[in-house]
Structure 1
Amino acid sequence: MDLPRACYLPDGDDGYVATALTIGPWDPGLQHAGPPAALLARAVERTGGIPDGQAVRLAYDVLGPVPVGPVRVTARVLRPGRRIELVEAALEAGGRTAMRLTAWRMRTRDSAATATPPQPFAVGPEEARSAAFDVFSEEVAYHRALEWRAAAGSLTTTGPAAAWTRPLCELVEGEPMTPLEHLLVMTDAASGISTEIDWSQATFANVDLVVALFRQPAGDWLGMDAVTTLGPGGAGQCAADLHDRRGRIGRSVASLFVEPREEPTPRRTGLDGARPRS
């Protein structure tokens, strides 16, 4: 199977064209929020004024669907500082702002003497099961951007789940995907692997995503241990612990807008042979 080399192709100074690797699960014409979240994080890291600073909180607002096609990313420093800064980035598509990110970045220093000991995940990527996060209508879509391994639960059935991933492509053509970019490509899928409702019966798109980190991700393999909780009024929340090989690096939380499908879609069988269950 021929796959695009990257999620995005450069198009001018601040423009990009999304490839099929950004296609999301709800509509083949719309992007999964993971790749644009990573594109915004890339802009924040390049715009920040603290050399070798680290992002400690990335707060995304999803203002509308992001079409698969041309996008434009801009960024600026809202609150400059030598030790702490606040950076904002925005993604425009179709003449409107579709996603926005505000990120706190901090100066780094050696504090290993007082650091909390690492908390490794119980199942490493080598012990995890090869799996497919395959709930997409298109053969080439977001799920092909990463290699997926299930560490707990299943990526195609309901309930809490944990997964390891590593990049199978670049974020922007010609650039290796950084661990922070990889983390954002992956983390928006936490509600997908831990869904509590059948994909064929309802949609549960997130309107935001907050990633809080006490240590920067490192290495090729990153993981998430996710739980989704559904409320009684049509809202849900997904929370996940985020890991690299050394241990936990932070947490994410997302607010979900849950809505029944007007016409339930046919059930699709995942590549690992499991069927979603309600």
Structure 2
Amino acid sequence: MSTAGFFERIDEHRFKPTPHAGGAWDPDEMHFSPLAGLIVHALDRHLAGRPDRGLTVSRISFDILGRLALDECEIRIETLRPGRTIELLEAVALISGRPVVRARAWLLAAGDTSDVAGGAAERLPPPEELASWPLTSVWPGGYIASLDVRPVSPPEPGRTTAWITTGLDLVAGEETGPLASYVALVDTANGIAVRESPTAWMFPNVDLTIHLHRPPQGRWTGLDTTVVFGPTGQGVTTTVLHDTAGPVGHAQQMLTVRPQPSREL
């Protein structure tokens, strides 16, 4: 891994984004994907600071509350629902003292259910067998430029399956857990299966919800993604999530669909 990262740590709760975190809709804004990973990284460190109770993150939802300026951010965590086998945590990311993302994570007790495991989709072809695709041909921004994207088949409007990884640290010089590294790439799903050119239409997501049926592992995030635009300005990006061992869960993003200002009637 490179010693460069998407963020640099300032203190226990504050981080400075680097140009690598630059957004796709506006390079002066932060791409949400690495910020989501940073929030999970903060949750991991919060959990590491207390006795291990055998709980694992099984769902995490992010609500994007406002503009993600490419500026210093702070992350605060609290327990909303304590419990021995089920727990709910909330993390809030602030920029200039204003909440910009609110995340809630359900932690469930881990146990051996391998005898009844089943129902997941088929594994994807391994990324090592696939060629890279320059996502920079569709999107600008430092975050997009940092990615290695390998489609399973040629991308189609509204439908793409691809592997994604990056050579950058999430936080420069810090070891990152597998869940944070994985989540840091999931929000890319809305950008790999575009239905319309982003120069003509805007379709940013206002949230991201991830459900996991097992913890992801490894440096690759697999996204089997479908994008639907409705007739009244809403859209949904739906993704089956994979690692190289197979499916790990699902993700959904709610989109606000609108013409670019120059195209408005």
TM-score where L is the length of structure 2: 0.91
Would you say the 8 A contact 1:171–1:177 is kept in 2?
yes
Q: Does 1:137 align with 2:140?
A: yes
Q: Distance in 2 between matches of 1:5 and 1:120?
A: 35
Displacement of 1:220 in angstroms is: 1.7
Aligned residue in 2 for 1:56: 58
- Provide, for residues 191-250 of structure 1, a one-character-per-residue CA deviation record: whole Å limited to 9, x for no partner: 111111111101111011100001000112220100000000011000000001111100
Q: Distance in 1 between matches of 2:215 and 2:44?
A: 12
Evaluate the alpha carbon distance shift between residue 229 and residue 119 of structure 1 in structure 2; reply closer, same or farther with a 3 A threshold.
closer
- Provide, for residues 29-87 of structure 1, a one-character-per-residue CA deviation record: whole Å limited to 9, x for no partner: 10111011111112223334654421111111000111112000010111111111000
After superposing the two structures, state which structure 1 stretch, 118-127 or 56-65, moved more. 118-127
Q: Distance in 2 between matches of 1:177 and 1:194?
A: 28
Aligned residue in 2 for 1:178: 177
Equivalent positions of 1:152-163 (< 5 A) are 152-154=153-155, 158-163=157-162
Aligned residue in 1 for 2:166: 167
1:100 aligned partner, one-letter code: R
Aligned residue in 2 for 1:268: none
Evaluate the alpha carbon distance shift between residue 51 and residue 42 of structure 1 in structure 2; reply closer, same or farther with a 3 A threshold.
farther
What SS does the corresponding residue of 2:165 show, helix, strand or coil? strand
Q: Which runs of 5+ in 2 are unaligned?
A: none
After superposing the two structures, state which structure 1 stretch, 119-128 or 142-151, moved more. 119-128
Aligned residue in 1 for 2:80: 78
User: How many residue pairs align between the two structures?
Assistant: 258
When the two chains are superposed, the root-mean-square deviation of aligned CA atoms in Å is 1.8
What SS does the corresponding residue of 1:90 show, helix, strand or coil? strand
Q: Does 1:150 align with 2:170?
A: no
Q: Distance in 2 between matches of 1:241 and 1:76?
A: 29
Q: Distance in 2 between matches of 1:201 and 1:167?
A: 28
- Provide, for residues 135-156 of structure 1, a one-character-per-residue CA deviation record: whole Å limited to 9, x for no partner: 3434xx00233321111332xx
Would you say the 8 A contact 1:169–1:177 is kept in 2?
no
What SS does the corresponding residue of 2:66 show, helix, strand or coil? coil
Q: Which runs of 5+ in 1 are unaligned?
A: 265-278
Aligned residue in 2 for 1:10: 9
- Provide, for residues 175-202 of structure 1, a one-character-per-residue CA deviation record: whole Å limited to 9, x for no partner: 2333212222211111111111111101
Displacement of 1:118 in angstroms is: 6.3
Structure 1 runs (4+) deviating above 6 angstroms are none
2:147 aligned partner, one-letter code: L
Equivalent positions of 1:238-257 (< 5 A) are 238-257=237-256
Would you say the 8 A contact 1:47–1:77 is kept in 2?
no
Aligned residue in 2 for 1:105: 107
Evaluate the alpha carbon distance shift between residue 118 and residue 260 of structure 1 in structure 2; reply closer, same or farther with a 3 A threshold.
closer
- Provide, for residues 101-125 of structure 1, a one-character-per-residue CA deviation record: whole Å limited to 9, x for no partner: 0010112122222222764424221
What SS does the corresponding residue of 1:149 show, helix, strand or coil? strand
1:107 aligned partner, one-letter code: A
Structure in which a larger fraction of residues adopt helix: 2
Equivalent positions of 1:33-48 (< 5 A) are 33-48=32-47
1:226 aligned partner, one-letter code: T
Would you say the 8 A contact 1:127–1:151 is kept in 2?
no
